[in-house]
Amino acid sequence: MTWDFSTEPEFEAKLEWMRDFVRDEVYPLEVLDADEAGFMRIVRSLQAEVKRQQLWATHLPPELGGQGYGQVKLGLMHEIEGASVWAPIVFGNQAPDSGNSEILAHFGTPAQKERWLHPLLEGRLRSAFSMTEPDNAGSDPTLLSTAAVLKGNEWVINGHKWFTSNGMIADFLIAMVVTDPDAGPYERASMIIVPADAAGLRKVRNIPTMAGEHERFGYGHAEILYEDVRVPADNLLGKRGAGFLIAQARLGPGRIHHCMRWLGQARRAFDMLCERALQREAFGKKLASHETVQNWIADSAAEMQAARLMTLHAAWIIDTQGAAAARREISLIKFFGAKVLHDVIDRAIQVHGSLGYSADLPLEEMYRHARAARMYDGPDEVHRVSVARQILAGYQAPEGMWPREHVPTRREAAQLKFAALLEAATTDV
């Protein structure tokens, strides 16, 4: 089968515009000293330019203002956005709003779209996705215990969530809760829209994390208590018991976007690695002339290339065969891409020595963010298990006690197979 990740020249021109725009207009936001009002004024002016270029919230279907781009094109755009932590918000693609808008677009009722989706897309509301719980392993979401009980015309929600990104500043949360405790493990949960001002919803705190400084203006990962929170029955998103199904729809393409954003970050660190190697001298020659540093450069280039092709391939499968067909490829890139990101930044820090460890360069912040990539949207280990299971499903245990390739057994079989010809050869002599 032919694999084709090519894009037309008009789209290439858009990518070129994005590269210049992110470098010239978005990078400066990272180091700007401004209060929230000033910062957001600048962000809104940049968002207006993105809208003029018709590059706003491109992950959405055309009827909601997106461009109907497939995952390959979206991936290439996310690669550029990933270079800066502020680019996704400028392009209307920031997590968790982007994933939430996608599921509202696909599973929301017209009334839910009117109330939550449209203002979210216009940037008038902010959202959060509230699934992980401190008292249950998030890696195995069948263990969720936050429960919603239908009483009259209302859901009554009780439970404890944490790491709800942007939970402190969100106007509404999409909560994954158990509505059908007696159903099968993957049919027990549903998604419910919870307005942030619902009585009984307690935003406890933003959990201090390794990400540190970026989590200003209230961004961060919140601990939330649901204490007899009441919301209308109509706030159920999609079908009752369809929580896992909707979560899958949210996470598949989302992981392509993550991986491509990581490649954008890795590329920026790689550029810094190469530039410093050419700039700094030790032991009579540039660092770039030391073989170890050359190995870092070659290994990083190979790993980034591999991750990029694997991710584009996964995106291409989603575009041509749907997200379900790309399950294995998505899990592959999730853990592989997170490792590539980490390792490239790590080498870039190393080549800069103490400067790399300092906050005078963006590398230490990039490194702290990169660490989380190995956990969110499923830790490495879970994706490895998933990949291994799918691969093993294509194999069978050989019969008997020896492996299929056991040489003495094969030799015996080969002797038997060609016995007649071997016999003839003996007779010839």
Q: Looking at beta carbons only, is 123 or 379 nearer to ligand FAD? A: 379
Q: Is 82 in the site for ligand FAD (CB under 6 A)?
A: no
Closest separation between CB of residue 129 and ligand FAD, Å?
Answer: 5
Going by their DSSP bridges, the two strands 189-195 and 154-165 should be labelled as: unpaired
Q: Is 334 in the site for ligand FAD (CB under 6 A)?
A: no
Residue 160 CB, nearest distance to ligand FAD (Å)? Answer: 12
* 267 or 334: CB nearest ligand FAD: 334
Q: Is 101 an interacting residue with respect to ligand FAD (CB under 6 A)?
A: no
Residue 103 beta carbon to ligand FAD: minimum distance, rounded to whole angstroms? 13
Nearest to 323 by CA among 129, 102, 175, 144: 102
Q: How many residues bind ligand FAD (CB under 6 A)?
A: 19
Residue 108 interacting with ligand FAD (CB under 6 A): no
Residue nearest to ligand FAD (CB): 138
**Where does this chain touch ligand FAD (CB under 6 A) — which range of 54-62, 287-295, 343-351, 377-385?**
377-385
Q: Does residue 244 touch ligand FAD according to CB under 6 A?
A: no
Which one, 84 or 132, has the nearer CB to ligand FAD? 132
- Among 249, 382, 383, 387, contact with ligand FAD (rule: CB under 6 A): 382
Among 58, 94, 98, 165, binds ligand FAD (CB under 6 A): 165
Could you say whether residue 189 binds ligand FAD (CB under 6 A)? no
Span from 39-47, 159-167, 192-200, 269-277 in contact with ligand FAD (CB under 6 A): 159-167
Q: Does 375 bind ligand FAD (CB under 6 A)?
A: yes
**Partners of 205 in beta bridges:** 223
For residues 145 and 294, which CB has a smaller minimum distance to ligand FAD in the complex?
145
In the complex, what is the shortest distance from the CB of residue 379 to ligand FAD, in angstroms, rounded to a whole number? Answer: 4
Q: Which residue in 96, 238, 264, 356 binds ligand FAD (CB under 6 A)?
A: 96
| Residue 177 makes contact with ligand FAD by CB under 6 A | no
Residues 212-231 binding ligand FAD (CB under 6 A) are 221
Binding positions for ligand FAD, rule: CB under 6 A: 96, 129-132, 137-139, 163-165, 221, 372, 375-376, 379, 381-382, 385
